[in-house]
Amino acid sequence: MPFQDLPARLAEVTERIERARERGGHGQHVTIVAVTKTYGPDAPLAAWNAGMRDVGENRVQEAISKMSEVPVGLRWHLIGHVQRNKVKQLDGFHLVHSMDSGRLADALAEHGAARGSAVNVLLQVNVSGEGTKGGYALGDVPREAARLRGMAGLTVRGVMTMAPFEAAEPELRRVFQGAREAAEALQQEGHPASDVSMGMSGDYEIAVAEGATLVRLGTVLFGARTA
Q: How many structural domains compose the chain?
A: 1
* Mean pLDDT confidence for 31-57: 96
Of the listed ranges 121-125, 185-189, 221-225, the least confidently predicted one is 221-225
- Is 20 contained in some domain? yes
> In angstroms, how far is CA 85 from the centroid of its own chain?
21
Tell the burial category of 168 from Cβ atoms under 10 Å away from its Cβ (0-12, 13-18, 19+).
Answer: exposed
Contact 181, 119 (CB under 8 A): no
Domain extent for 98: 6-222
pLDDT of residue 226: 56
- Is 93 contained in some domain? yes
Contact 207, 22 (CB under 8 A): no
- Is 227 contained in some domain? no
pLDDT of residue 191: 98
* Mean pLDDT confidence for 78-85: 95
Q: How many other CB atoms sit within 10 Å of the CB of residue 131? A: 7
Amino acid at 106: D
- Is 1 contained in some domain? no
pLDDT confidence tier of residue 131, bands split at 50, 70 and 90: confident
pLDDT averaged over every residue in the chain: 95
- Is 200 contained in some domain? yes
pLDDT at 15 over 70: yes
pLDDT in tens, 90-104: 999 999 999 999 999
pLDDT at 74 over 60: yes
Of the listed ranges 117-121, 164-168, 223-227, the least confidently predicted one is 223-227
More confident position, 224 or 193 = 193
Kindly state the percentage of the chain with pLDDT values over 90: 91
pLDDT of residue 225: 65
- Is 134 contained in some domain? yes
- Is 136 contained in some domain? yes
- CATH number of the domain encompassing residue 44: 3.20.20.10
pLDDT in tens, 168-208: 999 999 999 999 999 999 999 999 999 999 999 999 999 99
